Chain A
Amino acid sequence: MKGTSDVDPSIYECGPASDSVHSLLRLHAAVDWFVPPVATPEDARTTLEHYQRLALAFAPDLCARSPTIEVRSGHWPDFQRLCETTRENLQWDWKFGVLKPLTKRHSEAQGWSKPLDPPVTATEPTPSAPFLRIGDAILWNIRVAQLDLSLLDDPQREAARFFKQWADYDTFDAVEWQLAEPGCALEDNPFTHLLQLYEGGYYPFHLAKDRVVLFHFSPNGPCTTF
């Protein structure tokens, strides 16, 4: 299942970070979601470990030094259960406990903040502007490809929407990393590796600070065809 967007990723004018931002948005747009993987489990594990190393180097207090990585394959009910487990886990929240503080620290370390003079939104937004102003609020205006989830039944759709929305946020974190540090190679941006996991057909569930399930849809058995 590939996403569609009414906006070409290359229209965003992000100054010296434009090329890398466009690359990240194209990487996100190329992901074929919720289908059996194209990467091997070994490659996926290596990609996740690359993310872990970069995140640990920047924020050692936020990340486990040697998390357990379990590669698990399954079908929609297994994916749904992992989404529910993640959603119901009130003790540990990878997105809010690690990824967002990681982004915030990086932006602060680079002295980056949103531009103070983006175009004003009137009745028609400016599609090429990554940020828009309404009153004294400065808003993100970058859009990523969206999925048509109408082919899925209700539980599948809810799980797919849950995961995809959080994966979209990884893309925004990746973009903010580049905006904050335009000279950073994409390989050195930890969020790039999360997008590469999705591109390879692997879905990381951080069930605890030191435990990750790297899920992929099984190529065998009942699997939704899009």
Chain B
Amino acid sequence: MSPRDAAILALARRLLGPRTRFEDVVSALERAVVRTIPAGRVFVIGQSEHGPIVGSAISGVGVAARPGGVDVVRVVDGRVVRLAMMAEQRRAMVVR
């Protein structure tokens, strides 16, 4: 991942705070891109079984929803490679 992509994702994480919904992650990512890059753009760069993949048309780095959270992925030559976790829903601990 390029230093620019890493910096944008770090800023997006800070803007996201404790929220974990995909819509919130996308919103934070867009705000991070606009703050970092003049005329910055966020694209729909692909589609997974859980919905659209959203990110950079340059690097292919983006975010994708999955059950229980959101991942950082890279779309390269049509393949989707998971890079890291972006947000994870907390689950209530059940004591039996």
Contacts and interface: CB of A to CB of B under 8 A. Distances in A.
A165 B58 contact: yes
Contacts of B22: 134
A168 B45 CA distance: 13
B87 to A, nearest CB: 13
A125 B26 contact: no
Interface in B54-72: 54, 57-60
A17 interface: no
Contacts of B24: 135
Contact of A135 (B27, B37, B47): B27
B58 A137 contact: no
B51 interface: yes
Interface in B36-55: 37-44, 47, 51-52, 54
Contacts of A63: none
A140 B77 contact: no
A101 B41 contact: no
Contacts of B60: 165
Q: How many A residues are at the interface, by size bracket?
A: 20 to 34
B9 interface: no
B58 A168 contact: yes
A169 B57 CA distance: 8
Best-surrounded residue of A100, A139, A169 (most CB of chain B within 10 A): A139
Interface of B: 21-24, 26-27, 29-30, 37-44, 47, 51-52, 54, 57-60, 77-78
Interface of A: 96, 100-101, 103-104, 107, 121, 123, 125, 132, 134-142, 146, 148-150, 165-166, 168-169, 172-173, 176
Give the 3 A-B residue pairs with the shortest CB-CB distance, closest first. A135-B23, A104-B39, A137-B30
27 contacts: A101-B38, A101-B39, A107-B39, A121-B52, A125-B44, A125-B52, A132-B44, A134-B26, A135-B24, A135-B26, A136-B23, A137-B29, A137-B30, A137-B42, A138-B30, A139-B26, A139-B43, A139-B54, A140-B44, A141-B43, A141-B44, A142-B43, A148-B77, A165-B57, A168-B57, A172-B57, A176-B39
